[in-house]
Structure 1
Amino acid sequence: MKRMELLKSILLSLLVVLSLLLTWNVWSYQPADDPYDESETTVENVSIASERSPDELIQPSRFLVHGEVAVSGTTDENNIATLTEQMDKWNIYNVQQNASFNEEEFKEIVHGPNRIEVLYPTEIPFGAYRDIVTFENSTLPEDTFDRIVIDVSGEDDTPFTLYFVNYDNRVVYEARVDATHLEALNNAIVSNAAATYSPYFAHEAGDRTIYLPVERREYLQYRYKMSVIDVNLFRRALFQDPDAVTMNQLGASRDQYVDQSNLMEVNRNHNTLSYVNPSAELSTVGRPGELFQKSRRFVNEHEGWVDDYHLYDLDGMQQEVTFRMHMAGMPVFNDRGAAEIYQNWGETRIHRYTRSLLTEQFPLPEDYDSVPLGSGYDAIEAIEKIEDYEPENLEDVRIGYYMTKDSNDNIYTFDPVWYYKYNGSWSRVPVIGGGDPVGLE
């Protein structure tokens, strides 16, 4: 009898311990922040180049200092780094939406005097930006912004205001930063703005105000010997069973890699890759912050970042992301897709992945040359002469590099050119009277 009671006691104790373990597992379980399925993306542990953090991918395209009368601006990467280093020190708090303004007041918030207007090339999710700067708020809006406006008109002993602005949607969020940072910001950016940066003028296009440089100036033309990433690295990274992949030649310069469900095409003439996963469930809506994070992690998993790429377009509705190559702080464009990393996502899996296979090998400094570029006035004059041009469709105008292949030895030239964004697409500004768009002269 005593032995039976002992066995009952031991069994009861085991049941109690098992119950405690199960309870602990339930309490300690934390689901993933987003429905990203790593098992359906990169497969093998492949290291192509390097990983990237959010602050390396999300960078302003330029900033403007609005004085009492004049506006100064810069696209220089060193000047932008000086500003972002100041912002990295801030603790941003009291983020709240401001909806109490009319159109005139909106323009005053964004373009009024005593402002620093920090512009980004696409809409930036708050959820991604919190990995770059410090927010005191534990909960941030499920929203995006394409510029940050810093009000520097206050006193040194009063917290100053930040505006997170979605320009097209006319949405504004206000926030505060402690006054202790205002003096350093004014000393680093504002006090010598007129002498340090270029003068800019305002151009009205529909309900959008676009600021452009007043003066003509020269920009360096670059030539680089580029190397091509080994395609087999992507075959190992993107296919479940690389050994089961079949390679077919499609003409002299195209190769196709297929397994039972995925397809990858390589264009050796253009040095581009296109991967498609047809089984990924297409999604037409998703949170922009999650879209950015999973697109970054996807490339990080095979360490596929090369050279200097920045987030340049993010569309939460279509679940599309584009990262663009940059040269000397300016965006690079190529007619064949050799300056981009593009992704289109399904619910949890990548649907389409197209990208450049190029990476810088070494510059050819003996071939560097300075190219004169027309002013912002010249660019606008050329744009307004385009057939069927409608000002309300003009979204942005800026200088970028046009990347062209010189020879079969993968030598590429980077020419400075005026670009304009019209109805969501970037194009080279044509020269008045026709001819080569380089220089607008």
Structure 2
Amino acid sequence: MGLKYIEHIKTAVLILLILLSVTLTFSIWTFRPNYEPIEQSPTSEITLGDKQKLSEVILPYKIISTSRDGITGTTDREDIKTLMDFMKTWSFQNLAEADKEITADEADEIISQPESVTLFFRSPIPFGVVDSLFRFSDSVTTESSFSQVVIETQSDIGLVHFIGADGGRRFTAHVTGVKPERLSSLMAGAEEYEPFAAVERETARTLYLPATSNSVSNMTFFQQDISPSDFSEALFPDISMVKKEPFGEHSEKYFDINYQMIVDTQMKTLKFTNISMRSENEGVSIPSELLLDSMNFVNKHGGWTNDFVLSSMDPLRKLIKYRMEVEGYPVFSDSSLTFTEITQIWGNGQISSYSRPYYQLGQPLPESSEKRLPAGTDVAEYLRQQPEVDFDHVSDIVRGYELQRNEETLYTLEPAWFYEESGEWYPVKKAGTGGGRSGLE
């Protein structure tokens, strides 16, 4: 009798345990804890200055218009923007390679044809970013580049030439959507540009330069600085790991395990370096990627603290430069004073070196004087006669500003002529002034 009840008790306990297990399992499945949401700390992104679009740093620096009455041209920023805005309304089609290697004579023939307009760029522009400047109806896949754009204004098929630098290629495209009345108005306005003239050379492309003298204002600016510590916070991945120490009489060093930033407090410049990167830089960068990476890098910390434009690019060295401009004139300086360029070197998809000024030009003081500069054609003939100048290797002659420091807080921009020879810029020294040729960065 006792054994019989024991079996019933075991069965009842087993059923109870099964019911308890089912209940607990269901509770676990349906349990929703009332957790308080964890608030994320806001990520602070230092913005030092402006951010720019590609079309704002890639601009022609000169336009010439060729007609049967002669050549006119302009470097005025508003004239250039007016033409670029007009061209952005066009539709470019049927981009095709016309010459694998255009010669100097062939380029001169295209640029000098009557009823044409030519845009000159400071640096070769890769087709990989051309959609940022103009509207193409078809996908552009070539990584070739162009330095001049020639518009045949009388062409029945709307022909446009994209001409590469010396030894480069020539491409053509057809354009539609060009309003004839607006084009006629543009050409009529081009007749009011200042007179230009062609300066021919034996083995190099023709230079197109102002044929008359012109007055350019001297300008003086108060200096404004951005704190180097703001740059360190913007450039280093983890500011909490950054240390700072003196680095000479007028220098400071910010550093962590992978990066360092050397600040020259006298010249108001800095150089940010990836010290963990291998010194050798293998391969050639894709030009459009180099350009886009460099733009994104500066935009990320709002590094356009003055007006800068693309000035040169070397995909082999993975080097790219942006030069300061004031009112459309390039700004140069003796490198013993300070820099007027942003320079980047890239490697393996990362920034390797980043050099730049950290001063800003504040509000200009009231203009007090003007300087009359000689005609560009006169400057060219002067350079042609100089024994230390290889005139066939002079790639450009421009009006610009030389940056000078008057006092600790004042910068003066002195108007002058400059010429580029074999990739280096120099001021044009007048005959009889003495002194050798000094390079400007």
Alignment TM-score > 0.5, same fold: yes
Q: Deviations over 1:227-246 (max 9, x none)?
A: 01111111112223222222
CA contact (8 A) 2:91 2:175 kept: yes
* Pairwise CA distance, 1:114: 1.4
- Identity of counterpart residues, as a percentage? 28
CA contact (8 A) 2:107 2:205 kept: no
* Pairwise CA distance, 1:113: 1.5
In structure 2, what is the Cα distance between the partners aligned to 1:105 and 1:338?
37
In structure 2, what is the Cα distance between the partners aligned to 1:88 and 1:69?
28
In structure 1, what is the Cα distance between the partners aligned to 2:411 and 2:59?
25
* Pairwise CA distance, 1:62: 0.7
In structure 2, what is the Cα distance between the partners aligned to 1:182 and 1:168?
33
Could you say which residue in structure 2 is the equivalent of 1:241?
Answer: 238
Q: What secondary structure sits across from 2:218 in the alignment?
A: strand
In structure 2, what is the Cα distance between the partners aligned to 1:167 and 1:434?
34
Could you say which residue in structure 2 is the equivalent of 1:130?
Answer: 131
CA contact (8 A) 1:283 1:319 kept: no
Aligned partner of 2:206: which letter? T
Unaligned runs of 5+ in 2: 1-42, 437-441
Could you say which residue in structure 2 is the equivalent of 1:65?
Answer: 65
Q: Choose 174-183 or 72-81, whichever is displaced more.
A: 174-183
Could you say which residue in structure 2 is the equivalent of 1:201?
Answer: 197
Q: Deviations over 1:24-74 (max 9, x none)?
A: xxxxxxxxxxxxxxxxxxx96211112111111111101000112411000
Could you say which residue in structure 2 is the equivalent of 1:120?
Answer: 121
Q: What secondary structure sits across from 1:208 in the alignment?
A: coil
* Pairwise CA distance, 1:283: 4.0
Unaligned runs of 5+ in 1: 1-42
Instruction: For 1:25-424, list aligned pairs within 5 A.
Output: 45-99=45-99, 104-154=105-155, 158-178=156-176, 180-188=178-186, 190-194=187-191, 196-205=192-201, 206-281=203-278, 282-336=281-335, 337-365=338-366, 367-409=367-409, 411-424=410-423
In structure 2, what is the Cα distance between the partners aligned to 1:292 and 1:166?
17
* Pairwise CA distance, 1:84: 0.8
RMSD between superposed Cα atoms in Å: 2.0
* Pairwise CA distance, 1:91: 1.0
TM-score normalised by the chain length of structure 2: 0.84
* Pairwise CA distance, 1:344: 0.5
* Pairwise CA distance, 1:102: 6.8
Aligned partner of 1:432: which letter? A
Q: Deviations over 1:129-167 (max 9, x none)?
A: 21222111113321110110000122xxx3311111103
CA contact (8 A) 1:283 1:345 kept: no
Q: Deviations over 1:156-214 (max 9, x none)?
A: xx3311111103124110001116434412312x12433x1111111123321101111
Aligned partner of 1:414: which letter? L
Q: What secondary structure sits across from 1:227 in the alignment?
A: strand
* Pairwise CA distance, 1:224: 0.4
In structure 1, what is the Cα distance between the partners aligned to 2:229 and 2:261?
11
* Pairwise CA distance, 1:266: 0.8
In structure 1, what is the Cα distance between the partners aligned to 2:405 and 2:381?
29
* Pairwise CA distance, 1:81: 1.3
* Pairwise CA distance, 1:327: 0.6
* Pairwise CA distance, 1:435: 5.7
In structure 1, what is the Cα distance between the partners aligned to 2:349 and 2:392?
36
In structure 1, what is the Cα distance between the partners aligned to 2:398 and 2:209?
8
Would you say how many aligned residue pairs link Structure 1 and Structure 2? 388
